[in-house]
Structure 1
Amino acid sequence: MKNLRLIICTCLIIFFTFFYFKGKISGEKFDSKLWKTADLNTENNMSLRWDMMNSLRNNFDLIGKSKKEIVDLLGKPLNEKSFIYDYYLGYSHTGINTGSLKIIFDTKGRVSEIIVWQG
């Protein structure tokens, strides 16, 4: 009886974990050229940048980079304030939510924080 409960609990955990992470983990490799040239208004590219976010965060150490290095890597931001660059990420695979990447710079012009926003 204990073994049956353990098997059922394990299956339920796996089942719910799969649905929780479905659409949140992407295998899309970050490509600077694709990122810069993506037309996020087309159906094929609506979530391209969002899909590349995990690869960008995991494989590129953005903290400490200069504004020029960020623009070289990601292109010109959608909104550019003195200490914040905003990049539109497109649809996030969770309903009609879209996302944005906020890159925050310190007073020396180096990346100090990265925020991924979804809503």
Structure 2
Amino acid sequence: MVISSTAKKIILLVLWIVLLIGIFKVLGAILSPFNGDKFDPTIWKAPMTDYDLSNCMRGGMADDIVNKVIRVGMQRERVLELLGKAPDGHDNKDQYPLGYCSGIGADVDYLVLYYDAAGKLIEIDIHQY
């Protein structure tokens, strides 16, 4: 089978695009303000000061929490044991402030947890308002 020069150029272009997307995803993960710190319950549960918010004190623990500490399907009571009471929690949603971590630092990032009617964790999100 012979591949035309146009097809070869298209294949090469697609491969370059896939490579660039992969590089950007890896760099994004490495440079993310939400990874790098192991979850420390003492730091996490301490009241957030303005200094803590400004310096994203909890932000570096977010990925560790999402990947190793809590998981979808966990009961809300268990999550509260691990993370403490959410400063902004009501109905089916708990929000934990992470600090001014992403973007231009104008808005606070939050770890947002959603529960079903039975109190099971159904969604985990890092969100900036």
Q: TM-score, normalised by structure 1?
A: 0.72
What is the Cα deviation at residue 47 of structure 1?
0.6
Q: TM-score, normalised by structure 2?
A: 0.67
Q: Which runs of 5+ in 1 are unaligned?
A: 1-12
Distance 1:66 1:100, change over 3 A: same
Larger radius of gyration: 2
2:94 is aligned with 1:57? no
SS at match of 1:48: coil
Counterpart of 1:114 (choices 99, 124, 129) is: 124
Q: Which residue of 1 aligns with 2:111?
A: 101
**What is the CA–CA distance in structure 2 between the aligned matches of 1:20 and 1:104, rounded to whole Å?**
24
Counterpart of 1:77 (choices 62, 82, 86) is: 86
**What is the CA–CA distance in structure 2 between the aligned matches of 1:89 and 1:78, rounded to whole Å?**
11
**What is the CA–CA distance in structure 1 between the aligned matches of 2:63 and 2:40, rounded to whole Å?**
12
Quick one: which amino acid aligns to residue 54 of structure 1?
Answer: D
Aligned Cα root-mean-square deviation (Å): 2.9
Q: Which runs of at least 4 in structure 1 moved beyond 2 Å after TM superposition? A: 17-26, 43-46
Counterpart of 1:35 (choices 33, 38, 44) is: 44
What is the Cα deviation at residue 64 of structure 1?
1.3
| Identical counterparts, % of pairs | 25
What is the Cα deviation at residue 93 of structure 1?
4.3
Distance 1:26 1:101, change over 3 A: closer
What is the Cα deviation at residue 20 of structure 1?
8.6
Query: Across the two proteins, how many residue pairs are aligned to each other?
Result: 107
